[in-house]
Each structure stands twice: as C-alpha cells, then as structure tokens.
Amino acid sequence: MNFATLFGSLVDVTLVGILLGAGLPALFALGIRFAHGTSSEGTNVFGKFASTICFAVIVIAIVAGILWITKGTIYQYAGLDIFGTEG
C-alpha cells in the first residue's frame, strides 16, 4: 500500500463521514424549515414538496444503513444477497 492509495482512501472516508455525519442532520433541519415556512400564513406547496423530499432521502439513508449493517445476517437466514457482496 503506497501513500497515494492510503491518502485516497482517507479522503473517501472523510467525505462520506462529513456527508452522513453532518449532511443528514442538516437535511433534516432544512426539511423542518421547509415544512414550517418563513411566514405566519403557513406553508406553500413548494415547501411541503421540498420537505417531503428531504425526509424521504433521510428515510432511504436510514433504511440503507440498517440493511448494510445487517446484510450478513439477512444472507445467512434468508439467503438474500441485498448488495451483492456475499456471493
């Protein structure tokens, strides 16, 4: 393993950590902001749509994370290779 490979892996892990570590909570805050709007009149159609998209991305990330963590157990008991990594 040379320095370039090690540095490339370090950059990849750092970017994913920033994206998932700070990106999902920031997306959640943005979704809350879109859901409540900035005016006292209530939310508009764009705000509801944007907040739904934000929360859908968060739910998909959570489900994908749980499936990734449990992929070995799912493969062992159900025989399903979800991410194609067990075969």
How many structural domains comprise the chain? Answer: 1
Task: Say if residues 30 and 56 touch (Cβ distance below 8 Å).
Answer: no
Range of the domain at 27: 3-78
Global confidence as pTM: 0.73
Q: How many CA atoms lie within 13 A of 21 on its CB side?
A: 6
Residue 84 inside a domain? The answer is no
86 falls within a domain: no
pLDDT digits (tens, 9 = 90+) for 23-61: 899 999 999 998 887 666 665 888 899 999 999 999 999
Taking the CB of residue 51, how many other CB atoms lie within 10 A of it?
Answer: 20
